[in-house]
Structure 1
Amino acid sequence: MFTSLYTASAGAIAQQQGLDVTANNAANVSTQGFRPDRASFSDLVHTGVRAGEDAPKTGSGEKLAGTETLYVPAGGLRQTGRKLDYALTDGRQFFAVRTADGIRYTRSGSFAASAATNGRFYLTDAQGGLVLDRQGRTIEVTDEHPARAPGAFTFRNLDGLRKTGDNYFAPTALSGAAATAPDAGLRQGYLEDSGVDLADVMADLIQQERAFQLNTRMVQMSDEVAQTVDNLR
C-alpha cells in the first residue's frame, strides 16, 4: 500500500509540474512572438515483484523529464503598417536586444523609438532594451524611420537556449553563439502572433488535470486502506 502511495504521489507531482507548463502557455496566448513549451514525462524505476528474469515488474510512478520549446512553425503574421514593427517568418530566427543583463534574443518585434541621453532616438523593445542590427550596432530612428533594419540571428542548437523572462532567450554553451541569419524572412510593418494553439492547450489541460485528479484520488485511497489496516491490528 505504501508503494501505491509513493507511486501516486510521484505521478501527482509530475502532472502538477506539467500543468504549470501548460498554464504558462495559456497565459501567453496573446503575447507577441511567444514560443510555447511542451512538457514530457518519463517512468521512474521499475522493480520486479519477485526474483527471476521473467518476473513481472511494477512501476514507481513518473516524473517530468523536461520541457521543450517549440520554435517552429512560426506564429501567424498580423499586418500593422507601423514602420517600427517587425516580424520574422522563420521560427528559428531572433532579434537581438541589448539589456542591462547583456544581449538577449526575442521573437517579439513590437519596437518603439526611445530618447537617449544624447538627444537622439533609438529603436527599443517593450522593456527598453536597444535593438541591434546585423553588425550589433544600435539603430537610430528619425521621424519614425529606422536608419537600418534589425538584425536576424540564429543558433546552432535552439534547444540549448534558456528562457529568462520578458519573452527573452539567453544563449548558453549548448546553444552556441548567435550567428547572423538571412534577412529574407524579415517583414516590416508586421507582428508575429503567439505560437500557442489554444485548442492544443485546452486539450493538454484537460488531459493533465484528469491525470492529476486520478493520482490524488489514488493517494486518498491508499491512505484510507492504510488506516483500515491499522484499525484491524
Structure 2
Amino acid sequence: MMNSLMIAKTGMTAQQTQLDVISNNLANVSTNGFKRSNAVFEDLMYQNLRQVGANAAEQAELPTGLQVGLGVRTVATSRQFTQGSLQQSGNALDLAVNGAGFFQVEMPDGTTAYTRDGSFQLDAQGRMVTSSGFPLSAGITLPPETTSITVSSSGVVSAKLPGTTQPQQVGVLELANFINAPGLEPLGQNLFRESVASGNPITGTPGTQGMGTVMQGYTEASNVNVVQELVSMIQTQRAYEMNSKAIQTSDQMLQRLSQL
C-alpha cells in the first residue's frame, strides 16, 4: 500500500486534534481566568532509503540522502499563561491578580489547587469560596454581621462590622507561582494542580517576590483572541482538506495501477 495514504491519515488526525483545541478555546472565550492552548506537532520517523554521506564511488560521497517521512503526530498542548484583560465588576468579592500568581484553593481531599479565577462567593459558614464551593487555602471567614469587605493590593482582607469605625482584619491572601506554569495539570472548574513538570509552588505576599498585586472589584477575562482562533481554524480546515485530497489522489493512482 502506498505510504501516502497513511501519511495523509496522520495529517488529518493531527488537524482534527488542532480543531478540538481551537474549539475548546472558543468555547471558553467568556470563562474567567481561562488560558488558551495550542496543539504542538512533530514529524514521525523517516525511512532512510539512501544514507547521506555514503560512498557513491571511490573518493566520492553523497551530498544528500533519500529520506521519506512517515507523517506527523500531536505531542502536546501548550497552554499560554499571558494575562487576560481585567474587567471591572463592582462586586467586592471579585478579585483579580494583576501580574503573576495564582489563588490557592483547598480541595476536598486536602490537596491544594490553583486558579486565576477570582470570582469568589460566600458559603453558609461565611467562608470565601470559588463558584464550585471550594474554599481558599487561607481559610478566610467573614463574620455574619459584616457590612462591607475590603481587600488591599497586598492581599489583606478586612471586614467592616456594625458599631465600629475601623475595619477588622480577617485574613491575608497568599499567591503561588511556578517556574513552569504551562506544566500545571488542568483539572477543570478553572483549577490547576502542580505536577513534576511545573515544579513546586513558590508562595508569597502579593506584590513581593515577583508576585502580582490583587485588585478588588475586578475579574480577569479569558486570554483567548477570537480573531486569532478563527484564522487558526481556517488554516486547520485548509490543511485537513489538503490531506484529504492527498488520500483521494493516492486512491486514484492505485485505481490506475489496477487497470494496467
Which of these residues, 229, 232, 250, is aligned with residue 204 of structure 1? 232
Aligned-partner SS, 2:215: strand
SS in 2 for 1:121: coil
Percent of aligned pairs with the same residue?
33
Q: Residues of 2 paired with 1:51 and 1:94: CA distance?
A: 51
Cα distance in structure 2, aligned partners of 1:76 and 1:100? 31
The correspondence of residues 29-44 of structure 1 with structure 2, limited to 5 A, is 29-44=29-44
- Structure 1 unaligned runs (5+)? none
CA deviations over 1:23-42 (Å, ceiling 9, x no partner): 11111111010011121222
Alignment partner of 1:222: what SS? helix
Instruction: Output the CA distance in 2 between the equivalents of 1:108 and 1:126.
Output: 9
Question: Which residue matches 1:112?
Answer: 121
TM-score (norm 1): 0.88
Say whether the 8 Å CA contact 2:51–2:66 is kept in structure 1: no
Contact residue 173 and residue 205 of structure 2 kept, 8 A: no
Q: Which runs of 5+ in 2 are unaligned?
A: 54-63, 150-156, 158-169, 208-212
Within-5 A mapping of 1:1-233: 2-50=2-50, 53=53, 54-72=64-82, 74-90=83-99, 92-101=100-109, 102-115=111-124, 120-133=125-138, 138-142=139-143, 143=146, 145=149, 147-184=170-207, 185-230=213-258, 232=259
- Matched to 1:221, the amino acid is T
Are the structure 2 counterparts of residues 88 and 52 from structure 1 closer, same or farther at C-alpha, using a change threshold of 3 Å? Answer: closer
Write the distance in 2 (CA, Å) between the matches of 1:77 and 1:201. Answer: 20
Matched to 2:131, the amino acid is A
1:50/1:187 Cα in 2 relative to 1: closer, same or farther (>3 Å)?
same
Distance in 2 (alpha carbons) for counterparts of 1:169 and 1:85 = 19
Distance 1:205 1:149 in 2: 44
* Aligned counterparts of 2:240 and 2:246: Cα–Cα separation in 1: 10
Residues 135-160 of structure 1: CA distance to partner in whole angstroms, max 9, x if unpaired? xxx11024353533532111122132
**Partner Cα distance (1:219, 1:150) in 2:** 57
TM-score of the superposition, structure 2-length normalised? 0.79
Q: What amino acid is aligned across from residue 136 of structure 2 in structure 1?
A: V
Q: What CA RMSD, in Å, does the superposition of the two structures yield over aligned residues?
A: 1.8
Count the aligned residue pairs: 222
